[in-house]
Amino acid sequence: MSNDNIGRDVLAFLTGNLLDPTPLNYRFGYLYLTRSSKVICHETDTYIENGMRMKQETIVEIMGKHASASDDPEERIAARDEAVEMFLNAAGELARETKRQADGVGRDIAEESQVIQEGAEGEDLKGAIRRIVDRAAQAERELSTASSQIDRLQRDLEEARNKALVDELTGIPNRRATRATIQDLEIRKVRYCTAIIDIDHFKAINDTYGHPVGDRALRLVAESLREALAPWPVGRWGGEEFLVVAETPDAQRVSEKVQIAKDALADRNLKLRETDEPMGAITFSAGVAANYETSEETLRRADNALYEAKKTGRNKVLIAPDTGRVADAA
């Protein structure tokens, strides 16, 4: 199927389901028609086979499931961003609709009031008053419904925003949230240190025990670092790497605390959940750097120190000095 044809088919699919050709809907249609997502195909086929029309809220829900099932972090981020945008658009439309309803109530009541002012009597007067009371009651019900919808949208938006900043596997801040933390420190001109932590021989854990055990190892390390390094935030930087952002200029202090966290993790007696077989110690290497001229330079220097720690034997914490050789934390 050519790009021109798929484009036309996607638009025809959206039109047939009375869906606006928004970026989210177009990507949904594209992934469905090209059979690129098992989740989207399964969910959409179920709707179609049961003769149900795809609604906008259904698209958001299916795309959320697609994002959760995806192994591509960029795909998850993109879908969440689109969900946030959708919630914002829905909230805006709800606000506009509420205003239209309020304007309509005002006009209706004004018309009935005019009838009364012009001297309506008897049944005409009773009817005008009754219509005012009924319209006010209707407006109150509509306002209550709109208020409930706004509350739901606010909860959905907050949930989407939070998910966009949290690593799904480990439950700690993700790369985007960690970069935002660094950016905030830079804006406030607060001196800080970063520590890049990388699990030693993580590929061997996956190869030997399988990815489910590797995932559990990542969660274990994340929780160990979060507890040991509090109140400094620890984020998942990517793969088996974690990033600590410490609001202190003292790289030696940071390295010592990371060293303590490393030793505590290595001392744990780990066993496989399935067989109770000893798994061996989990260790990590780390590079620490005080903030430099830019955040990118700071991260580069921390990464260089981490590389040196890996190259010289692993299971150690090294500090990146301003100049010269990388310093051992011990």
| Residues with active-site annotation | 240
Helix or strand holding residue 304 (H, E) = helix 295-311
Among 221, 166, 171, 164, smallest CA distance to 197 is for 221
For the record, the structure tokens of 222 come out as 């994340």
Return the DSSP state at 294: S
Distance in angstroms (rounded) separating the CA atoms of residues 329 and 259: 8
Residue 164, Cβ density class (10 Å: 0-12 exposed, 13-18 middle, ≥19 buried)? middle
The answer to whether residues 84 and 161 touch, using CB atoms and an 8 Å cutoff, is: yes
Residue where the block lists tokens 């260089």: 304
Query: Residue 115: exposed, middle, or buried by beta-carbon count in 10 A (0-12, 13-18, 19+)?
Result: middle
- In the block, tokens 């594209």 appear at 30
The torsion angles phi and psi of 171, rounded to 5 degrees, stand at 80, 5
- By CB atoms closer than 10 A (0-12, 13-18, 19+), residue 120 is middle
* Residue that is written with structure tokens 């005012």 in the block: 132
